[in-house]
Amino acid sequence: MVDTFTVEQRSRNMAAIRSRGNRTTENALRFRLVRYGISGWELCSPDLEGKPDFVFPAAKLVVFVDGCHWHGCPKCYRPPASNTGYWLMKFKRNRARDRVVSASLRRKGWKVLRIWEHEMERSPLTAVERIRRLLGSRPSRSRKSLNFADSVAILRPSSRKHEVV
Ligand SMILES: [Zn+2]
């Protein structure tokens, strides 16, 4: 079958898929941070290298939620059906950039945690526990209970930037 998408169109499509997928994963983590009473974070700091999805300024911890497809997760990666070479190069470049960003942030004294999209899907609590360990806090006995209005407010995208919880 002839590939009717130009590279540019495909790139736009992929970017749309990426942002949608990532937002869902990011919201899943966000919801659980609140649910399990983990505070002290901000969303998506544009001033920091690599624009981490979550920043814990006091604990000097940044968390990236990496989409499996876009960031070339070794577990989930499947080569695309067409333009294989092009995409392979792109994914490799993305992974290389991720590594450079992580290393640079670590040099500046940040703890860096990268969570794969599939980890959030399969075992979200493991991700939460990893964050908690890096924050050095003990597991809390009581779960913060959320009512429906809270959950809606948390997941509303309009209040994303510089929101401190
Ligand atoms: Zn994956």
pLDDT surpasses 50 at 157: no
Q: Which residues touch 147 (CB under 8 Å, ≥6 apart)?
A: none
DSSP state of 164: B
Give tens-digit pLDDT for 48-83: 899 999 999 999 999 999 988 888 888 987 777 888
Which pTM does this prediction carry? Answer: 0.70
The β-bridge relationship of strands 42-43 and 61-66 is unpaired
Q: Judge: domain 29-133, CATH 2.40.40.20.
A: no
CB-count burial class (<10 Å; 0-12, 13-18, 19+) for 44: middle
Give distance in angstroms: CA of 30 to centre of ligand 1: 19
What separation in Å is there between the alpha carbon of 148 and the centre of ligand 1?
30
Biggest CA pair distance of the chain:
58
